[in-house]
Amino acid sequence: MSIKNLSKICCVMVSTLLVLVFVTIKLPASYSVMLGNIPEYTEEVPVWCGPAVAQMIMNGYPSGALFVSQEDIWDAIQTYKVETMWHSDPRGLANAMQSLNPPPAINPQYPYSQIFDGWCVTSSTDGLSLMKVIAYWMTKNNYPVAVLLSTLPHNSIQIHQEHWVEVRGIVTDVNPTENPNFNIEWVWYTDPSPATLGDPPVISLIKMGAWLNLFQLVDKEGSEFDNQFVAIIKRQVTWPPDTILEAYPDPTLNKGNAQTPKEVLSGETLLPNDILKYTQKWIEKYKLYETEAYKDLKSATHLKPLLVDKKYGGYYLIPYTTSQGKGNNAASLAILINAYEGNFQQIGVFEPTKYLSEQEATEIALNYLKIKTTKAIIAELVTQTEGHYFGRFFPAWKITIDDKVVHVTQKGKIIS
């Protein structure tokens, strides 16, 4: 049997006891699957978010975990790649994981069983429907999932237009394997692509409504996945091995419904002082500091709230520092709050970062443009510009001076 064919075979859950770490979230009747045995790795090359995600997943199996170098994973992806327009195409990434560390067989004592374990590319034209599938299979087999978050450039390599992340946790109101209709409340994920190569990955807990604004359709003309949402899921498909995956659509795709509250994306923005009150309310309600990744929140001090994407999809970024009074005030975690309603959106931890002030960013822009005269200046924080995505935790300053526009990253780099 070829590896390519084997990669199209999938599975039911493994009957193995898994140690779970539950995020403390005070929700009524919530059902959590938060996988705490997954190591965290950052990408070692700017185009290796796919290999980094695969490395985390394979070294976090509940049974048969294996450390594989990102270089070996990259080589395997290139060997099994189906679409050359990607650095790590969906099928190439799934094939690589299946070849390097196939999940343990569901019935190893019955080698001729018609049910097999494997990594399967699953797609849908609806993001919430695909998240329903993810919730189902994560609950059923306790394996993390590789998710293609978007196909926007997200670092200095402009031709790198794919952003893979590893989803390790999901929170629903009821057990999604026992109820066809359920609400998805939270997503817990690791982003291996930090703002600066070499920094640790960003570990983030996000409300489902905010996640759906991040999760985007593939935009790659000519790809079989164009205009679809994509994930690589450990799930089941029936023998024979030479039957393509599409012949066995995921049984959860058209069964029941998943729901989540929608985010308000425009309106009049709240004042910073009100945002700080909302932030403290959510910290206490969800006991965020009781989660290991965010325990520093208990003793951290908030810095000035930063308004990002004010016109549409606006949110306040509230940095928190444990270095208050030491001269640099570098933040190592931040909370994101909806700018129009004050709803909690997201929390993340990352490499200590000193956020640029409006004045600092403006001075960098003026020096770059070699402008010394005083002119009308508009400064605003944005998550993306045409052809580049900065990220929600590391927005860039968009500086407009007359008809000239430059973007200044939080590291002080100019993108014009």
Q: By residue range, what is the domain housing residue 193?
A: 3-259
Residue 266 lies in a domain: no
Residue 267 lies in a domain: no
Residues 116 and 130 in one domain: yes
Closest CA to 355 of 337, 323, 329: 329
Residues 246 and 304 in one domain: no
Burial (CB < 10 A; 0-12, 13-18, 19+), residue 402, is: exposed
Q: What span, in angstroms and rounded, lies between the C-alpha atoms of 316 and 326?
A: 25
Pair 396, 380: CB distance under 8 Å: no
Residue 328 lies in a domain: yes
Q: What are phi and psi of 169, to 5 degrees?
A: -155, 150
Residues 280 and 161 in one domain: no
Residue 226 lies in a domain: yes
Residue 37 lies in a domain: yes
> How confident is the prediction along the chain (416 residues), in pLDDT tens digits per residue?
333 333 333 332 222 223 334 445 555 557 888 898 899 999 999 999 999 999 999 999 988 999 999 999 999 999 999 999 999 999 999 999 999 998 876 554 444 445 567 898 999 999 998 999 999 999 988 999 999 999 988 877 888 999 999 999 999 999 988 888 888 999 999 999 988 888 999 999 999 999 999 999 999 999 999 999 999 999 876 544 443 333 344 555 556 566 677 888 999 999 999 999 999 999 999 999 988 889 999 999 999 999 999 999 999 999 999 876 555 689 999 999 999 999 999 999 999 999 999 999 999 999 998 887 667 899 999 998 877 888 899 999 999 988 889 999 999 999 87
Residues 77 and 118 in one domain: yes
Determine the Cα angle at 202 with ends 197 and 204, to 5°.
165
Measured between alpha carbons, how far is residue 192 from residues 166, 236, 314 in Å? 8, 27, 24
Residues 346 and 372 in one domain: no
**How many independent structural domains does the chain possess?**
3
Pair 351, 196: CB distance under 8 Å: yes
pLDDT of 283: 95
Residues 340 and 369 in one domain: no
Measured between alpha carbons, how far is residue 368 from residues 157, 358, 402 in Å? 21, 15, 15
The pair of structure tokens assigned to 205 is 């807990």
CA dihedral 281, 284, 286, 289 (to 10 degrees): 130
Residue 264 lies in a domain: no
Residue 367 lies in a domain: yes
Residues 25 and 136 in one domain: yes
Pair 245, 11: CB distance under 8 Å: no
Residue with tokens 């973007």: 407
Query: Which of 259, 293, 321 lies at the terminal end of a domain, its last residue?
Result: 259
Determine the Cα angle at 46 with ends 101 and 334, to 5°.
95
Q: What span, in angstroms and rounded, lies between the C-alpha atoms of 345 and 191?
A: 16
Q: What span, in angstroms and rounded, lies between the C-alpha atoms of 218 and 151?
A: 6
Residues 220 and 90 in one domain: yes
Residues 157 and 15 in one domain: yes
Residue 265 lies in a domain: no
Query: Which of 231, 259, 287 lies at the terminal end of a domain, its last residue?
Result: 259
The pair of structure tokens assigned to 172 is 């629903």
The pair of structure tokens assigned to 318 is 């509230």
Query: Which of 236, 259, 282 lies at the terminal end of a domain, its last residue?
Result: 259
Measured between alpha carbons, how far is residue 145 from residues 11, 27, 134, 142, 223 in Å? 14, 24, 7, 10, 21
CA dihedral 190, 191, 192, 195 (to 10 degrees): -140
- Kindly report the pTM of this predicted structure: 0.84
Residues 105 and 220 in one domain: yes
> What are the beta bridge partners of residue 348?
204, 334
Residues 164 and 255 in one domain: yes
Residues 36 and 181 in one domain: yes
Residue with tokens 């807990």: 205
